[in-house]
């Protein structure tokens, strides 16, 4: 498949892309997240697309997963309205606060701290401490 973006043409191996997107979506929706952290490496490293094409398009792709996943989870009764009503305003508020902080912090350090936090959380989930 050929994609045009800001006057440039990109060749995309759409079979590999869709297969990867499908598997990511199965796992991500099973565990309740969109799948962005896996889709961005898939599109940049595996499909070889430039970052400026990937940032917005990957978000659009995972939105489909989140939308369908939400509908299905609600259908299976895996949804608590009270918990949702508590967390939803927080997520909206974060959408306003986040970008203001983003301009002042180094993305490298955010990622390093996140990686450390994720490791601690992972060890906790694996029951290692």
Residue 93's alpha-carbon distances to 107, 123, 125, in angstroms, are 21, 30, 28
> Does the protein bind another protein through residue 80 (CB under 8 A)?
yes
> Does the protein bind another protein through residue 7 (CB under 8 A)?
no
Smallest separation (angstroms) from another protein to the CB of 87: 4
The tokens describing 31, both together, are 């565990």
> Does the protein bind another protein through residue 9 (CB under 8 A)?
no
Q: Choose, by CB under 8 A, the member of 9, 35, 46, 129 that binds another protein.
A: 35
Cα separation, 67 vs 79, whole angstroms: 14
Q: Choose, by CB under 8 A, the member of 9, 11, 13, 30 that binds another protein.
A: 30
> Does the protein bind another protein through residue 48 (CB under 8 A)?
no
Cα separation, 10 vs 12, whole angstroms: 6
């Amino acid at each position: 498949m050929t994609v045009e973006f800001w006057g440039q043409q990109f060749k995309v191996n759409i079979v590999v892309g869709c297969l990867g997107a499908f598997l990511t979506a199965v796992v991500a929706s099973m565990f309740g997240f969109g799948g962005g952290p896996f889709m961005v490496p898939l599109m940049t490293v595996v499909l070889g697309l430039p970052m400026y094409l990937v940032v917005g398009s990957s978000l659009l792709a995972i939105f489909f997963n989140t939308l369908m996943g939400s509908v299905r989870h609600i259908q299976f009764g895996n949804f608590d309205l009270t918990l949702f009503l508590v967390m939803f305003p927080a997520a909206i508020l974060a959408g306003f606060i986040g970008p203001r902080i983003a301009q002042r912090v180094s993305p490298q350090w955010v990622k390093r701290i996140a990686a450390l936090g994720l490791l601690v959380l992972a060890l906790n989930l694996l029951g290692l401490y």
